[in-house]
Structure 1
Amino acid sequence: MIQTDWHTESEHGALYNLLSDDYTVDKGRSATVAPMQLDGVDLGIDFEIREGGPAIGFSSPSSIIYSDDSVHLAYANTDAQILTYQDTPMLSVVAPLEKNPQMIMWDPETYPDVEDLEDLRDLGVTINIFAGQTYAEIFVAQGVLSADQIDPSYDATPARFIAEQGAIAQQGFASSEPYAYKNVYEEWGKDVAITLLNDNGFPIYSQTIAIKPSMKDEMDACLTELVPIFQQSVVSYHEDPARTNAMIVDINVQYDDGWVYTAGNAEFATAAMAEYGLVGNGPDAIVGNMDTDRIQEMLDAIALAGLEHDESLTPADLVTNEYIDTSIGF
């Protein structure tokens, strides 16, 4: 059983790709359950994927795995792993996404010469984001952004961005908002320009599959078998996403919880993940492994920003490539 961090969506495709066609949506538990399969082969175990976000009161997946012993795996982000290690330590064992999908977007007609966050800084453009974002504090500490241009009042709706008619920038996912603003929000109905947080000095691993470190020995044999399955599922899903995307759309219809996710959303997301390098091999020919230099870069950035954390942490406390099959990649 794995606890995710949001609604069912194509960014989670490598997980849903492992569900057989005989899946069941349990609305009461915000869970989808099915026999696990890979490339048409039944793997002989059941797999349960739980939704996050509003389904868990916007709690973190790590808080769920520590409060519910039936959860074996949970999503993790590098920055949160560092900042919450003392209370809910997590060890990432595989990274289905190579880059974090988070981005900042703006109107290219209003700001045609902007290419990155430093350009937005130089123009003093207001950036509307969720409150409490680690990246904002890090970018201010690094001088990439100015504190006075950050507006932490974003409410996940398009209303403010559209009302400002291109005057402000806003956070989002590279694999989601560009589609929605062009194709769903008719009041906007045009392209936005984006820059990935990853490309501006925030190279976290996002939505890794992680365990409680205390369970590593007990789960060792399982992880030896399971991690290569997750790796191969990343490759298989992105080579042929049609079955899984149709499943993702149907699961959202069955949940009927207000979250709308269409075939267009799913198709855009898989294409965008490839276009922006959100999924793929690392600096080598391997998918799913984690670069410890990136982890150390985040440890150093969090220290520079003066954010409270365990200063004795090393990359080995946060990630392991022990279970990675080095023969699997794109």
Structure 2
Amino acid sequence: MIPGSAHRPSRPFFALAILAVAGAALSGCASGAAPAAPASAIPLADEASILTDVCPAMIVIQATWEPEVDHGPFYGLVGPDAVIDADKKSVTGTLVDGGKSTGVQIEVRSGGSAIGYQPVASQMYTDTSITLGSVPTEDRVAGAASQPTIGVFATRQQSPQMIMWDPETHPDWTSIADIGKTDATVVVPKGGLYAQALVAKGVLKQSQLSDSYDGSPARFVSDPSIAQNGFATSEPYIYEHEISQWDKPVKYQLVKDAGYDVYPDALSIRSADLEKLSPCLTKLVPILQRSALAYLADPAPTNALIVKLVEEYDTGWVYSAGVAEAGAGILKNLHLMAGTDPSVPIGDFAPERAQSSFEQVTALLGASGVTIEPGLKADDIFDSQFIDTSLTGK
């Protein structure tokens, strides 16, 4: 069984009272949404992008969390005939490539509360209608024995996970290593593997860690002496613009820049489905690559859908248009989605980095008591064979 909360990405559920301004912004955005277009009005894509004969009639993608910009490439595949199911927390429509129909449908399902905070890999084995799921590297390693999955598309090259602090309280901190030189408390999610990695590297001390982070801003607001887990694509904007009790900038460093640099997650299939799905993935993965590039070039249309989904799903997850716009900017400006190496195609797994990710995660999970499948290799959890190497982010 794959560990659940120990490796599940943690995202903030902010109280609606605190984020009244954000809620108002969401309502305004939703009221201006255009009605869905009929599928017949969507022009057909070129033959190279037609998926009718090689893919399921409905491609189901299971997200790892609530709708957010980090998942822009696959929300961007949903055509203008999108239908939102607020009860199932899913959106369905024509799967498009550059706005043109590929001949099949796509359903993107929300994660997080919609699946009871279960790991996506577990959900994939419970519900085999799921074609691809967004599975963290840690879960692909930990679940290799009982729920094996293999990543075929890196939605992000780098993780937005970070540790943040108050620059007024700590003007001398410029990095996570600076925090480690003090006795300041660092609040992280329970079971967060990256925190243990930073302890193992000597960047932080075990005595500093408090694994009590629940996504609420209350502790940080009331005690700015602490450092706190977060994501560069959300918390810095939210704390500065949407939490009235804070209403000022925070400083942060990405965890990857402090020494835990692994592929954060990937769209993955059940390993046993690789042969069956190969003809589909040969066409679908390049479509995902083009969707990622299109999102980076113009995130606004997909962001509008993401914000609309959050409003319709009404789970307590709050995500304003401002957060989406800022988050997309961070993904682009910090090269989190496309990466910093122009030789690596978008969505690809670079062999050396895949091996390094595998070794770091395997060592940390093993040290925490997780039994690693004997003989497991990086190639068992990373597969780049479907990547179009001509599609780069530069």
Tell me the TM-score normalised to structure 1 length.
0.96
CA contact (8 A) 2:290 2:391 kept: yes
Q: Does residue 96 of structure 1 match 2:159?
A: no
CA distance in 2, matches of 1:257, 1:79: 26
CA contact (8 A) 1:282 1:290 kept: no
CA contact (8 A) 2:113 2:315 kept: no
Q: Which residue of 2 aligns with 1:324?
A: 387
Q: Which residue of 2 aligns with 1:256?
A: 314
State the Cα deviation string for residues 162-200 of structure 1 (Å, max 9, x = none). Answer: 010x20011011000001100111111111111111112
Deviation, structure 1 residue 207: 3.2
1:112-131 equivalences under 5 Å are 112-131=171-190
CA distance in 2, matches of 1:85, 1:169: 34
Deviation, structure 1 residue 325: 0.2
Amino acid at match of 1:77: P
Amino acid at match of 1:156: G
Amino acid at match of 2:124: I
Q: Does residue 170 of structure 1 match 2:232?
A: no
Amino acid at match of 2:183: G
Question: After alignment, is 225-234 or 241-250 more displaced?
Answer: 241-250
Amino acid at match of 1:240: D
Question: After alignment, is 119-128 or 174-183 more displaced?
Answer: 119-128
1:1-330 equivalences under 5 Å are 1-164=60-223, 166-281=224-339, 283=341, 284-302=343-361, 304-305=363-364, 306-307=367-368, 308=370, 309-310=372-373, 312-330=375-393
State the Cα deviation string for residues 231-282 of structure 1 (Å, max 9, x = none). Answer: 0100011101111111111122221222222111110011111122212146
SS in structure 2 at match of 1:108: coil
Tell me the number of residue pairs that the alignment of Structure 1 and Structure 2 aligns: 329
Q: Which residue of 1 aligns with 2:20?
A: none
Deviation, structure 1 residue 19: 0.8
Amino acid at match of 2:182: L
Kindly name which structure, 1 or 2, has the bigger radius of gyration based on alpha carbons.
Answer: 2
CA contact (8 A) 1:281 1:288 kept: no
CA contact (8 A) 1:282 1:289 kept: no
Deviation, structure 1 residue 149: 0.2
State the Cα deviation string for residues 41-92 of structure 1 (Å, max 9, x = none). Answer: 1111100000001111110110000110111100111122222222221100
When residues 311 and 190 of structure 1 are mapped into structure 2, their CA distance, relative to the original with a 3 A threshold, is farther
Question: After alignment, is 56-65 or 80-89 more displaced?
Answer: 80-89
Q: Which residue of 1 aligns with 2:4?
A: none
CA contact (8 A) 1:76 1:208 kept: yes
Amino acid at match of 2:266: T
Deviation, structure 1 residue 300: 3.0
CA contact (8 A) 2:285 2:387 kept: yes
SS in structure 2 at match of 1:29: coil
Deviation, structure 1 residue 292: 2.7
> Quick one: percent identity of the two aligned structures?
35
When residues 245 and 304 of structure 1 are mapped into structure 2, their CA distance, relative to the original with a 3 A threshold, is closer
Amino acid at match of 1:117: I
CA contact (8 A) 1:10 1:266 kept: yes
CA distance in 1, matches of 2:103, 2:162: 39
